[in-house]
Amino acid sequence: MLNDLPLADKHEIFVPKAAAVHDDTAAEVLIKHLFAQPSDKIRGIDYAVGYKPADGPTGGDILDIFPFDDGSVGFSVADISGKGVRAAVHAALIKYAIRAYVSVEQPAEMVLRSLNRLFLENNAFEETDAFASVFVGIVDPERRVMTYASGGHEPVMLIRPGIPVRVLAPTAPLIGVFKGQNDLFGQAVADLEPGCTLVATTDGVTEARRNGELYGMERLTDFVECHWQKPVEDQVRLLLSDVSTYCYGKPQDDIAVLIARIL
């Protein structure tokens, strides 16, 4: 997998001479780049993503899926503290660092350890206290398993035909908080089979509010159990619509959704 790291999507950005790029414009360009997905279908995986920012086009959420030549597939979902161009820059740092770490065959827990060290070093350089919740999943198509690590991220759900929803709870702390405590970072394994569906979101879903009441995990679980057999694109569209309706179209935080099905 060492040489399998996917190339970043190419975007040509023309800036006229003497023209200044506003921070919001820079952040918008970064976000569009961060959410760019592979142009070709991924063998053995059907997936869809959706993103609804809370305030304009900028934010600090990540949804990523990246295939490798050996057939393995990586997933990452992250929610970075802050807004605007700085959050977008931190999101880019996390997205491509994860791809790099996975490409050199680091196990999921080591990916989060390496990411935590990188993020802490970046915080020291910038003199900030930014942090992030991160989920990383690495699918082995031959063994039909996914090794995953979740650094304080929203529980990810795995739906298998005829089996109750499995909640993939955090295995590690938030990224960018703890220094030198590698024993806090763990990983777990989930068995896969054709028809399995993975539902990953950021906390903009569960923390959407209506009259002070949260959308919550129970409502999200009910939604997933009701709709998981639908095409993944429909599931994403319906979930974004349901959350938006619940909070009267005024989300308090960015809403990001990734749904993937094993074929």
Number of domains in the chain: 1
Provide the CATH number for the domain around residue 191.
3.60.40.10
pLDDT digits (tens, 9 = 90+) for 192-249: 999 999 999 999 999 999 999 999 999 999 999 999 999 999 999 999 999 999 999 8
Report the pLDDT value the prediction gives residue 74, as an integer from 0 to 100: 94
Region 115-124: what's the mean pLDDT? 94
Asked whether residue 20 is domain-assigned, the answer is no
Torsion angle defined by CA atoms of residues 150, 33, 73 and 44, in that order, rounded to the nearest 10 degrees: 120
Region 140-154: what's the mean pLDDT? 92
Report the pLDDT value the prediction gives residue 60, as an integer from 0 to 100: 76
Asked whether residue 181 is domain-assigned, the answer is yes
- Higher pLDDT residue, 261 or 34? 261
Q: What is the bridge-based pairing of β-strands 45-52 and 213-214?
A: unpaired
Q: Which residues contact 106 (CB under 8 A, 6 or more apart)?
A: 114
- Quote the mean pLDDT of the chain: 85
| Secondary-structure percent of the chain, ordered helix, strand, coil, rounded to 5 | 30, 30, 40
What's the pTM value of the predicted model, to 2 decimals?
0.84
Residue 228's domain comprises 44-262
